[in-house]
Structure 1
Amino acid sequence: MPEYVELVSSCKLAQHWFNSVKGNSNLLLKDIHIDASKAEQESSKAHVLAKAGLPYPLAADSKVKRGPRFAQEPVYPPVNVPIVDAAFRLTGVTFNPRNVLLQFHSSSSDVSIAGEWWMQVQMLTHTVVQVYDSSQWRGSISKVNKKDRGFKIGMALDFGDYVMAFLTIDNLFRTFYSRTRETLPAPLLDIYFDFVPALNMIIDWAEDRADSDRSGLASDIIRKAAGIFVGIGVYTISEVMHRAGLLPLLTERELFDDPSRFARFVESFYCHAARAHTDVWSLVKPFLRGKFFISVRNKDRLAYTKWLAVHGKENVLVPKRLQAQYQDLMLWFSSARNEAVPRQRNPESGFFDLVEPTFLQVALKKDHNLGDLIFGKDTWVAQGGKLWVDNPLVAYFNRRSIAVARPNYLHPSVTSYQPFFLPINSLRKSWLETTLYYTSDKPFWCVVPNLPSNTYPAGFSSTTSKGKGKGKKTAKEPPQVTPAPREEKKKQLFDYIVNYSIDYAVGPLDYCGIAHVRHNRIILCRNDPQVSEYICDRLEQGIRRRQHLQPGKQKTANPKAFKRKRAEDELDENRNGDNEDDSASGKMKRRRISVDKRLVLGSLLQDQELGKRHRSAVKSDQEIDGCTVADAELTCEMIATDN
């Protein structure tokens, strides 16, 4: 699913459009358009537009459902009249984690329909919101076959003057309808707007699991608990744990049984959410070249790297004092490797996390903060921090008889930092190299290199019994993460994905439905009919260049449209070759050639004129010294590859 920042971005775009046009447009819903699935398209009852691979309007008797395989919901609202007759007028757009909530008011003469309605659009997997005006929708998006445009129309709400489209790569989204917001099926709590209720929800979740094994990696457990840690996915988990100073090998027990670590994680999650709500619009707004939809050049996609702290980065800029902590941690690693006896990663052995208070400053400045759990009550008060009297997290640890007075896993220097919070210009004075790990086949970026193999987490034994038989019990081994080789890490870097592949990276600027910019022209989708064929060809050439720039096996993620297009081009070339009249090929067709081709051909001609080589007879295919134009082109391609 889209992660927290992307969800906020889509909702803010929808709110920006709504607030801009609500005074000039009645925003009555006139149609709901969708792209048909493969099975729906092949049905004998399919709409004529669906059979052509184009978005089509849903009828009042539509039974189309979307969503996960075993939990699909109808796309059409539960009314038995055409959508125009239902007279739904859009009256509000609201953010909710994993969802965009749309509020409508019906002025239908049917009393069973009239009144307030809510639509909850659950954005799953790869979904983004774009808003088009009527000419853009009717002249471009709705005219291009779904296989050729580069994305699918999950659902498009047609308001006449404007169309709000939920664009997907796989048609995976879900809609719910209700007469009130309170009765929507998934009113998830948001940690930014509902911090105290969200914290209590996390505490309840942790308490329910307190008596279970909890020996799995914390990062995996958090990602899977999507209803609790809403918006934390594959890349956000790296960002949140880096800000909190938490390592990839931490088990669930190590994280949620330690007051300081638990509190740091929660405050880090809050900081991530707060930044999304306060700053993401300033990132996205410059790319609203069409007022209400995002369009980017390929280089614009790199803008999100400045937002990221650690994901997809070669190096990370950090304060000098965090660099000093890192050096001390490397000494601990070195000492542990030299010991014959395995060392436990606990406070007694001197192990600590890399904690920078400034990374959590936004969260620690709010009234309901967890500063006393993170740094200790005395230190927090001495630093001028506010105390939360009825802190539910303190009560949770008291119930479990876990001491909260003295924080664990902090470097000794942290509690005496002056100033406690650094100015912005001091946060980028040094740097650390990142390491890419894989946990459950998912990437995890971190500034800490692979931990010594002879260390083990708290709660595990240094040895495991491998005996079998009656009375024998095999101890569970600690979880492992796999550091990626340097070459693999290189291919997962953000700028590598953008510049040297056809894959999508992360962030609100990198979705299949984002419009393109070439030669200062906006291309709403691939094969946009409102853009010249030349501009569309330039876009395709850029995509193919990134696809084939690196040698090796073709990426399996290559879109089917590319494969089909390439096959069609090759077929056309073969047909053209078969239809050529050999008798008329005495004169070569004039065509433009690149600088490299000119150099190769020019060199061959010069050698001929100087008599350095024996000149053979000029054949019908314009062979020069045994080298045809095709051979010269192949030589140019080899030169380009070598360069």
Structure 2
Amino acid sequence: MPEIRECIAHFLLLLHLLKYFHWRSYRPWALLEIWTDARVDQVAVVKKNGEEEGGAKSGDHPEWRRMRKGLPFRVTQDSSATVGPKPVSLWPPDIKDAKDLSARMRLEGVEYSPRDLYLNFGHRWFTFKYLLHSSVHMYKPAEWAVLREMPQSGRAYKFSIVFVFQTAVIAFQSFDANVQPGWELACPPPKPNICPWRSDDPYPENVPFLTHFAAFLRTVWEKPWKKGLAIEYIRKIGDDFPGVGAYSASEIFAYAGLPHDLTITELFNCPSRVGRLLEAGYTLAHSGWTEGFAVFLKRALRGGYLVAPTIEDRLYCASRYFLVWAKESTKVSDRMGALYEMAKNDFAGCQELEYDVFEPSLIGVAFKRKMHLGPLIFGRDFWRKNHADKYGMPAMDPVSEAFEKYKFACKDDHLHPDEYYSPGPPLVLSPARLQERKVETFTFRMGKKIAWSLTAPRYGLRRLTGDDREMRFAATIIQTKLQVSVGPLEYSGNALGFRKRGNGRRGVHVALCKGDPGMKQGKIDYWPLHLRGQARAKERIAISLMQKRISMVVKAERKKKGRAALQKKIRDYHKVVDDVVVQFGRGRKVKSGNRDAKVVKKRAGRVKIVKTRRSVDKHLADVNATLPDGGHDFDSEGRRRSKRQRVSD
């Protein structure tokens, strides 16, 4: 299930990129080409056909030639290219050829849905359903000229679908091509939207969503079965509560003060808990609109358009974007800390949880709407007496009406009566008071998924502790592994950003991918430096975790294995660089960020790479001179172009 905050962040990112490249709805861009990467099964079939037919026939087909080399290929009207769990042709219906494509397919607009992204091409609407590890980026034509000749071994992602225009390229990228595109005659009907953003209203109303969810509640109450964990169930109801993936479920439950081992009955039969669930979902989506792009993604933009986060950017996002997910500890208010300790004591004494660990300030944004659910959460009488003067007394909302009609026996709101009354502490505390105590998070395994919580479990869920837990912290993953964590900056399709090395150097050095010829600057090759930094961090963390439990002999053995793993990664990287040199060379001199090379044929099926030393500045000048728009400048912070260059741009 796609995470709602990431869908919002990528929509805002695409709007920003279109503005950067001067797209306007009244001047739609003509679609020139469509490209994609082959799926694993397609590559296997092509290679098998090539072996059976001696390579002659498969070698003559342009698509097959590029598939066999791990390169993206251009989609045509005769292509059989499909993408997605439900295979869909990437060529638009009723389009005859490339000329017809540019004449009838023009980018006229972009629309948002809590689970999808819609591109209006006039003749057809393109729908893109975010699945696992998928993101959207835009490149200059010069950068696309490099990336389309980059084999998959040189990048950590695949091109699911790429739209090429005259002035820019829109690329949908994913780690494993696990996306679901589609072509529609008209814009699909809107999905339920828990936070329908409007630029003129900072706290938009969501009454249509509440009405839809009230109807959904009636279907849940009428079902005879209500077993199973609620946190797993809400991830399966994407049509009624969209955008809730693994981390969103944990965050929503933590914001709402809900125990992660609640059953479906315990959640949906309790008015207060349902109200907190909905307001927490609203708050999470609202933070996606106000923070996801503006605070975190924008920070990682290089040159105004290329997403290339550094390690520092990713750690900043991991520490501030989440309340509990993949964090060792978090800061809470004094009253939430007291409820946290009470829940721990209940767990230690094998007693039922008396009060939920709930802090209203975490969902304070939701109380700024006219039709909020404060009375449903605390009870209408309690709300009227204590908080109606400050936050208003909204009319009966659709969810409250549904509970009134069904008259549930569950009257307990599971809230501590002494924590939220007035006069007393404000219902919504100041940001400073939300940082008064530091508490440890809990980590559970539920089936194949992991959940993070501030409430100790009751029903014997498998709790992760020790090394198994600590190696799942976002900070550990970011500093020690090549894989990504979760969040708006955690996508394998992002460019790579490195803090510049050398005396007096400032700013960020950027490479499109690990095989980018610009990875090396002068004598500094940034990818091996990055690998060595990760190895040092991993060794440091491993030693701190196991210092008291392993002997010096075991420590030395672990260090030896770590060094061997590092050397293997560096050898693999140099092999990738050689593959890129061969791909870009083809008998002519290649300007590579790692080296210059000339591909010389030795005998059939083999090549010899003749290496020569050459200045990277000269290499980049030559490469940029051959590219359509004069090349690219990644480092907006470090380089200052002359007035003459700015005018020409």
User: Which interval holds the TM-score relative to the shorter structure?
Assistant: 0.7 to 0.9
Q: Given the alignment of the two structures, is residue 311 of structure 1 paired with residue 313 of structure 2, yes or no?
A: no
- 2:212 equivalent among 198, 201, 214: 201
What CA distance in whole angstroms lies between the structure 2 residues aligned with 1:130 and 1:81? 28
Q: Given the alignment of the two structures, is residue 252 of structure 1 paired with residue 233 of structure 2, yes or no?
A: no
Bigger radius of gyration: 1
Using the TM superposition, give the Cα deviation of residue 262 of structure 1 relative to its aligned residue in structure 2, in angstroms: 0.6
C-alpha spacing 1:236/1:325, structure 2 compared with 1 (3 Å): same
Number of aligned residues: 513
8 Å CA contact 1:258–1:408 kept in 2: the answer is: yes
- For residues 110-138 of structure 1, what are the alpha-carbon distances to aligned partners after superposition, in whole Å with 9 as ceiling and x for unaligned? xxxxxx53211112111011110111111
Corresponding residue of 1:583? none
The code of the aligned residue for 2:516 comes to: D
Corresponding residue of 1:146? 152
C-alpha spacing 1:434/1:195, structure 2 compared with 1 (3 Å): same
C-alpha spacing 1:529/1:169, structure 2 compared with 1 (3 Å): same
Using the TM superposition, give the Cα deviation of residue 76 of structure 1 relative to its aligned residue in structure 2, in angstroms: 1.6
Using the TM superposition, give the Cα deviation of residue 480 of structure 1 relative to its aligned residue in structure 2, in angstroms: 4.1
- For residues 421-451 of structure 1, what are the alpha-carbon distances to aligned partners after superposition, in whole Å with 9 as ceiling and x for unaligned? 1112211111211111111131111122344
The code of the aligned residue for 1:415 comes to: Y
The code of the aligned residue for 1:202 comes to: F
8 Å CA contact 2:332–2:434 kept in 1: the answer is: yes
Q: Given the alignment of the two structures, is residue 412 of structure 1 paired with residue 408 of structure 2, yes or no?
A: no
What CA distance in whole angstroms lies between the structure 2 residues aligned with 1:491 and 1:136? 36
Q: Given the alignment of the two structures, is residue 290 of structure 1 paired with residue 292 of structure 2, yes or no?
A: no
What SS is found at the alignment partner of 1:414? coil
Question: Normalised by the size of structure 1, how large is the TM-score?
Answer: 0.74
8 Å CA contact 2:343–2:456 kept in 1: the answer is: no
Corresponding residue of 2:473? 493
Corresponding residue of 1:527? 515
Structure 2: segments with no counterpart, 5+ residues: 47-57, 197-204, 501-507, 543-557, 580-649
Within 5 Å, give how 1:33-432 maps onto structure 2: 33-41=35-43, 42-43=45-46, 44=58, 45=61, 46-68=63-85, 71-86=86-101, 87=103, 88-105=105-122, 116-138=123-145, 140-181=146-187, 184=188, 187-193=190-196, 195-210=206-221, 211-282=223-294, 283-304=296-317, 305-334=319-348, 336-337=349-350, 343-345=351-353, 351-382=354-385, 383-384=387-388, 385-402=391-408, 408-416=413-421, 417-432=424-439
C-alpha spacing 1:40/1:563, structure 2 compared with 1 (3 Å): farther
What CA distance in whole angstroms lies between the structure 1 residues aligned with 2:574 and 2:73? 28
- For residues 449-494 of structure 1, what are the alpha-carbon distances to aligned partners after superposition, in whole Å with 9 as ceiling and x for unaligned? 344xxxxxxxxxxxxxxxxxxxxxxxxxxx6411102221111111
Corresponding residue of 2:618? none
C-alpha spacing 1:545/1:368, structure 2 compared with 1 (3 Å): same
Question: Normalised by the size of structure 2, how large is the TM-score?
Answer: 0.74
8 Å CA contact 2:335–2:419 kept in 1: the answer is: no
The code of the aligned residue for 1:279 comes to: E
8 Å CA contact 2:528–2:570 kept in 1: the answer is: no
8 Å CA contact 2:520–2:526 kept in 1: the answer is: no
8 Å CA contact 1:295–1:522 kept in 2: the answer is: yes
What CA distance in whole angstroms lies between the structure 1 residues aligned with 2:65 and 2:347? 66
Using the TM superposition, give the Cα deviation of residue 547 of structure 1 relative to its aligned residue in structure 2, in angstroms: 5.8
What SS is found at the alignment partner of 2:172? strand
What CA distance in whole angstroms lies between the structure 2 residues aligned with 1:191 and 1:374? 17
Corresponding residue of 2:454? 447
What SS is found at the alignment partner of 1:223? coil
What SS is found at the alignment partner of 1:167? strand
C-alpha spacing 1:169/1:374, structure 2 compared with 1 (3 Å): same
8 Å CA contact 2:246–2:449 kept in 1: the answer is: yes
Using the TM superposition, give the Cα deviation of residue 154 of structure 1 relative to its aligned residue in structure 2, in angstroms: 0.8
Within 5 Å, give how 1:500-515 maps onto structure 2: 500-515=480-495
What CA distance in whole angstroms lies between the structure 1 residues aligned with 2:266 and 2:278? 15
- For residues 204-262 of structure 1, what are the alpha-carbon distances to aligned partners after superposition, in whole Å with 9 as ceiling and x for unaligned? 33322323322211111111223322211111111110000001111111011000001
Using the TM superposition, give the Cα deviation of residue 390 of structure 1 relative to its aligned residue in structure 2, in angstroms: 4.0
C-alpha spacing 1:279/1:258, structure 2 compared with 1 (3 Å): same
Structure 1: segments with no counterpart, 5+ residues: 106-115, 338-342, 346-350, 452-478, 573-643
What CA distance in whole angstroms lies between the structure 2 residues aligned with 1:434 and 1:396? 35
Corresponding residue of 1:543? 531
C-alpha spacing 1:72/1:263, structure 2 compared with 1 (3 Å): same
Corresponding residue of 1:30? 32
What CA distance in whole angstroms lies between the structure 2 residues aligned with 1:168 and 1:48? 22
What CA distance in whole angstroms lies between the structure 2 residues aligned with 1:16 and 1:480? 47
8 Å CA contact 1:63–1:74 kept in 2: the answer is: yes
C-alpha spacing 1:355/1:38, structure 2 compared with 1 (3 Å): closer
C-alpha spacing 1:403/1:376, structure 2 compared with 1 (3 Å): farther
8 Å CA contact 1:241–1:265 kept in 2: the answer is: yes
8 Å CA contact 1:223–1:237 kept in 2: the answer is: yes
C-alpha spacing 1:26/1:135, structure 2 compared with 1 (3 Å): farther
The code of the aligned residue for 1:268 comes to: A
Corresponding residue of 1:626? none
Using the TM superposition, give the Cα deviation of residue 96 of structure 1 relative to its aligned residue in structure 2, in angstroms: 0.9
The code of the aligned residue for 1:160 comes to: Q
Using the TM superposition, give the Cα deviation of residue 26 of structure 1 relative to its aligned residue in structure 2, in angstroms: 5.0
Using the TM superposition, give the Cα deviation of residue 81 of structure 1 relative to its aligned residue in structure 2, in angstroms: 1.6
What CA distance in whole angstroms lies between the structure 2 residues aligned with 1:173 and 1:547? 32
What CA distance in whole angstroms lies between the structure 2 residues aligned with 1:563 and 1:372? 60
What CA distance in whole angstroms lies between the structure 2 residues aligned with 1:535 and 1:400? 73
What SS is found at the alignment partner of 1:215? coil
8 Å CA contact 2:115–2:243 kept in 1: the answer is: yes
What SS is found at the alignment partner of 2:515? coil
8 Å CA contact 2:261–2:457 kept in 1: the answer is: no
8 Å CA contact 1:35–1:154 kept in 2: the answer is: yes
- For residues 524-560 of structure 1, what are the alpha-carbon distances to aligned partners after superposition, in whole Å with 9 as ceiling and x for unaligned? 11110244376884214423653683476999xx99x
- For residues 502-528 of structure 1, what are the alpha-carbon distances to aligned partners after superposition, in whole Å with 9 as ceiling and x for unaligned? 221111111101111232321011110
C-alpha spacing 1:322/1:163, structure 2 compared with 1 (3 Å): same
Using the TM superposition, give the Cα deviation of residue 568 of structure 1 relative to its aligned residue in structure 2, in angstroms: 5.5
8 Å CA contact 1:117–1:180 kept in 2: the answer is: yes
8 Å CA contact 1:143–1:529 kept in 2: the answer is: no
8 Å CA contact 1:220–1:440 kept in 2: the answer is: no
* Cα RMSD for the two superposed structures: 2.8
What SS is found at the alignment partner of 1:33? strand
Using the TM superposition, give the Cα deviation of residue 306 of structure 1 relative to its aligned residue in structure 2, in angstroms: 0.8
Within 5 Å, give how 1:491-640 maps onto structure 2: 491-518=471-498, 519=500, 520-532=508-520, 537-543=525-531, 546=534, 549-550=538-539, 565=572
What CA distance in whole angstroms lies between the structure 2 residues aligned with 1:310 and 1:205? 28
C-alpha spacing 1:82/1:567, structure 2 compared with 1 (3 Å): same
The code of the aligned residue for 2:290 comes to: T
8 Å CA contact 1:73–1:176 kept in 2: the answer is: yes
Identity %: 26
Corresponding residue of 2:440? 433
